[in-house]
């Protein structure tokens, strides 16, 4: 009998779909999801959601029904994992490649037969858009964090950028299967800011765009970090070759590395008519908000690590900077994890206003 998931709970977006299907595939639990993206306009599956479901079904030898554009209900019955393997997913549109990675990465970490051969994942679609992590955030914030704290080894290469609305990007990710269970971690002290780094990228636009983005970001950071003037700031300007992009576009991702092992990101995506220096300023302000919040992770990293905390062995703990409680995305990720696994989450509100998330993970391995 399948487990029924209400896709309109809490945040009610595509994250419920991605996390539910990934956990169901790993645990061998048939699920049905209804009211998918019920509050969105229009509701139901979009092309990128359907592509992600098809990808997960391929990796997990699953029977998938109802996965058509506009559908508000699907059924997913997993089989054995086909890992390690070589997989390709193409959203055709500018649908986010990083959201495709979110549904696939947990599956590629595990294999029934011990192997050091990495899986290769080729993702085609959008690489830099506003409604999903930019690929540079995934490469420089998310992946380094999960490697350090969970022991995950994954290498990401941007073969071609895909800006909205044309898409056409290509990202290749190599994921090494775990030799043991995901390790737990404790990250409760942020320490000082060690350095700030960043990438300002642009394609098929005038040459001054990149340096202007860097200038705007540096100006805001220098003012906002006046009391920490000795912090090194290194932001690269990166012009993409015309043949490496389908359409014109720009964006910037910044990240602050903390002594305690945390990392805070900030980003902005360019659009027609936006001054390049203002784009840099916007990303810097985003980064400063994350730093001023006082946590060891930013709000976007916070919700992405929940599924790995649930799968890890032992108790994990992380200090989050949300004075008003956890983000809706994070609460949703926790709800899904507790619905489908035996992981136990506990949140603690500190006198400082910060929140600590603790999780007793299930110590998952494929053979179990």
The three-state secondary structure class of 117 is coil
Q: Which of 197, 185, 153, 200 is nearest to 296 (CA)?
A: 185
The two structure tokens encoding residue 158: 């941007």
Asked if 55 and 96 count as a contact pair (C-beta separation under 8 A), the reply is no
Does the annotation place 102 within a ligand binding site? Answer: yes
- Report how far apart, in Å, the C-alpha atoms of 309 and of each of 114, 181, 184, 296, 367 are: 22, 11, 7, 15, 19
Helices (H) and strands (E) in the chain, counts: 10, 16
Q: What is the DSSP letter of 128?
A: B
Q: Do 358 and 347 meet the contact criterion of CB atoms below 8 Å apart? A: yes
In residues, how long is the chain?
Answer: 368
What are the φ/ψ torsions at residue 97 (nearest 5 degrees)?
-70, -30
Mind telling me the catalytic residues? Answer: 329
Question: Which positions make up the binding site for ATP?
Answer: 102
């Amino acid at each position: 009998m399948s487990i029924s998931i209400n896709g309109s709970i809490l945040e009610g977006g595509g994250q419920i779909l991605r996390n539910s299907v990934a956990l169901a595939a790993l645990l061998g639990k048939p699920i049905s999801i209804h009211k998918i993206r019920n509050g969105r306009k229009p509701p139901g599956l979009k092309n990128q959601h359907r592509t992600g479901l098809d990808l997960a079904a391929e990796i997990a030898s699953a029977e998938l029904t109802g996965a058509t554009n506009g559908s508000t209900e699907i059924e997913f019955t997993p089989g054995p994992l086909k890992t390690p393997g070589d997989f390709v997913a193409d959203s055709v549109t500018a649908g986010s490649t990083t959201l495709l990675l979110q549904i696939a990465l947990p599956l590629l970490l595990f294999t029934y037969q011990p192997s050091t051969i990495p899986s290769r994942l080729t993702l085609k679609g959008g690489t830099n858009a506003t409604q999903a992590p930019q690929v540079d955030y995934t490469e420089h914030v998310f992946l380094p964090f999960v490697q350090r704290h969970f022991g995950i080894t994954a290498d990401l290469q941007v073969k071609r950028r895909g800006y909205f609305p044309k898409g056409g990007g290509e990202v290749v990710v190599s994921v090494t299967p775990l030799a043991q269970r995901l390790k737990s971690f404790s990250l409760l002290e942020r320490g000082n800011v060690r350095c700030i780094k960043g990438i300002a990228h642009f394609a098929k636009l005038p040459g001054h765009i990149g340096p202007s983005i860097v200038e705007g970001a540096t100006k805001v950071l220098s003012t906002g970090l006046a009391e920490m003037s000795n912090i090194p700031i290194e932001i690269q300007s990166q012009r993409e070759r015309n043949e490496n992009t389908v359409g014109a576009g720009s964006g910037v991702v910044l990240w602050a590395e903390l002594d305690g092992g945390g990392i805070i990101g900030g980003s902005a995506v360019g659009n027609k008519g936006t001054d390049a220096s203002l784009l840099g300023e916007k990303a810097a302000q985003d980064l400063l908000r994350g730093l001023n919040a006082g946590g060891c992770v930013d709000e976007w990293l916070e919700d992405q690590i929940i599924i790995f905390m649930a799968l890890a062995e032992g108790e994990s703990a992380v200090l989050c900077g949300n004075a008003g409680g956890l983000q809706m995305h994070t609460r949703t990720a926790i709800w899904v994890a507790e619905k489908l696994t035996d992981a136990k989450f506990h949140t603690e509100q500190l006198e400082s206003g910060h929140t600590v998330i603790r999780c007793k993970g299930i110590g998952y391995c494929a053979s179990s």
